[in-house]
Amino acid sequence: MKQNEMLAMILAGGRGSRLHDLTNKVAKPAVSYGGKYRIIDFPLSNCANSGVDVVGVLTQYESVLLNSYVAAGGRWGLDTRDSGVYVLTPREKADAGLDVYRGTADAISQNIDFIDSYDPEYLLVLSGDHIYKMNYDKMLAYHKEKDAACTIAVMPVTMEEATRFGIMITDNENNIVDFEEKPAHPRSNLASMGIYIFTWKKLRELLVKDMVDEKSDHDFGKNIIPALLSGGDRLVAFKFEGYWKDVGTIDSLWEANMDLLDPANTLNLDDPTWKIYTEDTAALPAYIGKDAEIDRAYITQGCVVKGLVRNSVIFTGSEIGDGAQIIDSVLMPGVKVGAGAVVTRALVADGVSIGDGAVVGSADSKEILLVAQDV
Amino acid sequence: MAKAFGIITSSPEYKVQGMQDHRPIAAFSFLGRYRVIDFPVSNFSNSNIDRIQIYISSKPHSLVDHVGTGRHYNINSKRGKIQLFFPADEATSDIYNTNLNALRRNVEYIERMSEEYVVIAPSCMIFVQDFDELLQKHLDSGADITLLYHNVKDAKVGYATCEVVNIGPEGRVTSITQNLSDEDEANIFTGSYVMKKSLLLDLIEKTARISSTYTLVQAVSHFCGDLDVRAVEHKGYFRPITDLRSYYDGNMAVLDQDVADSLFIPGWPIYTRTNDSCPTQYFKGSSVKNSLVSNGSEISGTVEDSIVGRNVKIAEGAVVKGCVLLAYAEIGEGVHLENQVVDKYARITSTKEIISNKERPGYIRYNDVL
């Protein structure tokens, strides 16, 4: 399929520090989710499924794992002659020293040469750390229909939640008339999802100016969007309805995993027309033992379950010993739980071993316990 | 190390009731996630044999679908290569549709391979073998042909249609014959050979003048007197799939964790094509014990001692015991199944009880609605 009308750039540089020890060695987009996925599989699969064939991934914080992970574009089918996933880390240039990405907009500015080499008409800017399924091609059609300079995907949230987001104020025709970052008293409930389509020529002009503006934070929300608004360019809101989650904290990551246990969950990872692609592991199907007890669970291949699993999500290659109990918990890839151990309301990080008979977490804890070290 | 290319032979001589109407044994699902062909191809790939010819005797579609370019087998896409050879139309009668004739029809492709040696493996048997090691043993012994056999203690059950390697004094193979004996112990042939490419070409040419219905093993057996044919014993899990019972037993055996450990060895991955299915969902009230469960399934009922393939649905109140459920099978509410092989896309909702005994497992057809 030939198509380079729209190029995608995924912002994947953030640490996600509220995920604590989970992101000590990996950037937030590389954090595991949903049994077999990593968060960045979502925007990458959405790109592949939407026919966006060239994707730049802007990485910075602890990017070794993330770089090697996304470099294998074949995982998302983005490895044909006309497609590819490219890792773009800060680099030294002939006319400038080595700069880290100073902000979200700067990450794009520093790669104008990369984008220009594909000569796209539109640029899709995405976050690497959100969980959702979305057809960007439909959003592009809307952008063209509205003849906009910028289209921002928004979703309705409660007024209480609105204080935590960038909020778009729109007129009756979805034109964005104003924008507020985390307002104390929101004037609208339309939250920005951090998904932008720009007409590239227009954005390029602004970025070139922004790069040399010493007062700028080089940020889309703080600088680029306001500049577009004040310049009289047309910005429109594209309303999204469906599952979308920014898993910024241990509690919200746990919750997003728990959502998968609900048969009516709207993320629907089982949709054969919109699969989420990920790394394939050479693992046996899950083995459920003779004395195992499973009651409401989401379990992937490569797991061995000999104990009890209730209300829990078990990731690739985890092993649960005889008589162990996993209740209301998330076990990330390669977790080993010894015989008789009890894990309650916990999120156990990749590769952690929990010894025989250990007791971790409790049913009446207010917050979900992150277990990042062997117990 | 001398370089070898690999040949995976077809197995038109074995018939598996029902299942084979839809695909060759090589394309049979194994443990829900794999296909039988994954084992010989992974063995080759892990043994650094990355140029592989696969011969298909019938209904190539599902095998071609699965093998594709072969990149999921970790084979270098430039240096390595998987070639698929299809059944030829001229085999007007089944008796001419032998694995040897398939090689003969494509002999020019064998001639063109640049490697000095060839390792031949069957497409209908499940086992793990380091062929690099076997090639080394072949070179060390100086034999013309090295065969791989597996010693079994229950030769009458499950190996009835296999061949036996008869080994004379000094370890020389005297013949390879049908397993007709009454003995419980036998050295069952694994369908695997190592020899020089030139010798294989020689056999193909010479046997044309002896019998046009010879299989490869008959040809080798014919020349056992003239050639130095040796045998090496295979250890570990070994299962030829020659009929429905052996297919069923072969799947069931891997529910034993020790057996699984002998087939899935760290550092020896068995590759397969991923379907990108999501993890399996176990709903409230489900009960699953002693089973292997592939991804993409939804389980509300009771499952015991079974193999659950990809994207299988087991409804509330359904009871599945001792079954092999292939991908997309659907077991309806309150349906009770015991000791069945349920083929792909079969839907069982109206018939409430299908029970067979373990010695004669039942078979529910592809796409069937019951």
Residue of B135, B145, B222, B306 lying closest to A290 (CA atoms): B306
Contact A305, B286 (CB under 8 A): no
Tens digits of per-residue pLDDT, A173-189?
999 999 888 899 999 99
Q: Which two tokens stand for residue B351?
A: 């018939």
Residue A1's pLDDT is what? 43
Q: What is the mean pLDDT of residues A292-303?
A: 96
Is A171:A220 a contact under the CB 8 Å cutoff? no
Inter-chain touch B282–A297, beta carbons under 8 Å? yes
State residue A82's pLDDT score. 81
Which pair of tokens denotes residue B72? Answer: 């999921």
B110 touches chain A (CB under 8 A): no
Judge: A292–B288 Cβ closer than 8 Å, yes or no: yes
pLDDT cut 70: percent of chain A above it: 98
Nearest CB among B276, B279, B287 relative to A298 is that of B279
pLDDT tens by residue, A152-169: 999 999 998 899 888 999
In tens, the pLDDT along B133-148 reads: 999 999 999 999 999 9
Whether B278 and chain A come into contact, CB under 8 Å, resolves to yes
Residue A99 near residue A198 (C-beta atoms within 8 A): no
Instruction: Give residue A367's Cα distance to chain centre.
Output: 23
Phi-psi region of B278 (alpha: psi -120 to 50; beta: other; left: phi over 0): beta
Q: Where are the alpha helices (DSSP H) in B5-130?
A: 38-46, 61-67, 99-105, 107-111
pLDDT at residue A133 tops 60: yes
Q: Which residues in chain B land under pLDDT 70?
A: 1-2, 88-93
| Pairing mode of beta strands B186-196, B117-122 | antiparallel
Instruction: Write down the mean pLDDT value for chain A.
Output: 92
Contacts with B260 from chain A: Cβ below 8 Å: 284, 287
Q: Is the dihedral of CA B273, B275, B279, B283 positive or negative?
A: negative
- For B358, the token pair is 């373990």
Average pLDDT over every residue of A314-324? 97
Question: What distance in Å separates residue A338's CA from the closest CA in chain B?
Answer: 17
Q: Among B273, B277, B261, which residue's Cα sits nearest to residue B74?
A: B273
Distance CA A181, CA B100 (A): 74
Per-residue model confidence as pLDDT tens digits over A9-18: 999 877 777 8
Q: Do A284 and B264 touch (CB under 8 A)?
A: yes
In this prediction, residue B92 carries a pLDDT of 59
User: In A, which residues are within 8 Å of B296 by CB distance?
Assistant: 270
What count of Cα atoms within 13 Å lies in the side-chain half-sphere of residue B20? 20
The pLDDT assigned to A79 comes to 83
CB A35 to CB B278 under 8 A? yes
| Residues B298-332 as b or e (16 or more Cβ within 10 Å = b) | bbbbbbbbbbbbbbbbbbeebbbbbbbbbbbbbbb
Which residue among A36, A261, A288 places its CB closest to the CB of B291? A288
* pLDDT, tens only, B103-130: 999 999 999 999 999 999 999 999 999 9
What pLDDT score does A309 carry? 98
Q: Search chain B and give the residue with CA nearest A302.
A: B294
Question: Scanning every residue of chain B, which has its alpha carbon at the shortest distance from the alpha carbon of A279?
Answer: B276
Give percent above pLDDT 90 in chain A: 72
Nearest-neighbour CA in chain A from B236: distance (Å) = 17
Q: How many CB pairs under 8 A join A and B?
A: 99
Is the minimum CB–CB distance between B289 and chain A shorter than 8 Å?
yes
Kindly determine whether residue A285 and residue B31, on different chains, have CB atoms separated by under 8 Å. yes
Quick one: which H or E segment has residue B308?
A: strand B307-308
Nearest to B284 among A270, A278, A296 (CB): A296
**CB–CB contact B289 A300 (8 Å):** no
Tokens at A350, concatenated:
């990749």
Residue ranges of A 12-71 with Cβ closer than 8 A to chain B:
34-36
- Between the alpha carbon of residue B355 and those of residues B68, B244, B251, B352, the distances in Å are 38, 16, 18, 10
Helix axes A41-50, A136-145, angle to 10 degrees: 60
pLDDT, one tens digit per residue, over B278-314 is 999 999 999 999 999 999 999 999 999 999 999 999 9
A328 close to A313: Cβ distance less than 8 angstroms = no
**Distance separating alpha carbons of residues A99 and A106, to the nearest angstrom:** 10
Give me the pLDDT at residue B90, please.
54
Cβ of residue A276 closer than 8 Å to a chain B Cβ: yes
pLDDT tens for each residue of A199-233: 999 999 999 999 889 899 999 988 999 999 999 89
8 Å CB contact of B31 and A284: yes
Residue of B290, B293, B325 for testing the chain A interface, max A β-carbons within 10 Å? B293
Q: Collapsing DSSP states into helix, strand and coil, what is residue B164?
A: strand
- A58-93 confidence digits (pLDDT tens): 988 777 888 888 888 888 888 887 888 998 888 777
Assign B338 to helix, strand or coil.
strand
Chain A residues whose CB is inside 8 A of the B33 CB are 284-285, 301
SS (H, E, C) chain A: CCCCCEEEEEEECCCCHHHHHHHCCCCHHHCEECCCEECCHHHHHHHHHHCCCEEEEEECCCCHHHHHHHHCHHHHCCCCCCCEEEEECCCCECCECCCCCCCHHHHHHCCHHHHHCCCCCEEEEEECCEEECCCHHHHHHHHHHCCCCEEEEEEECCHHHHCCCEEEEECCCCEEEEEEECCCCCCCCEEEEEEEEEEHHHHHHHHHHHHHCCCCCCCHHHHHHHHHHHCCCCEEEEECCCCEEECCCHHHHHHHHHHCCCCCCCCCCCCCCCCCCCCCCCCCCEEECCCCEEEEEEECCCCEECCEEEEEEECCCCEECCCCEEECCEECCCCEECCCCEEECEEECCCCEECCCCEECCCCCCCCEEECCCC
| The pairing of beta strand A244-246 with beta strand A130-132 | antiparallel
Using CA atoms, how far apart are residues B259 and B309, in angstroms rounded to an integer?
19
- A332: Cα separation from own chain's centroid: 17
B interface mutation test: which of A33, A133, A294, A295 has the most B CBs within 10 A?
A294
Please indicate if any CB of chain A lies within 8 Å of the CB of B68. Answer: no
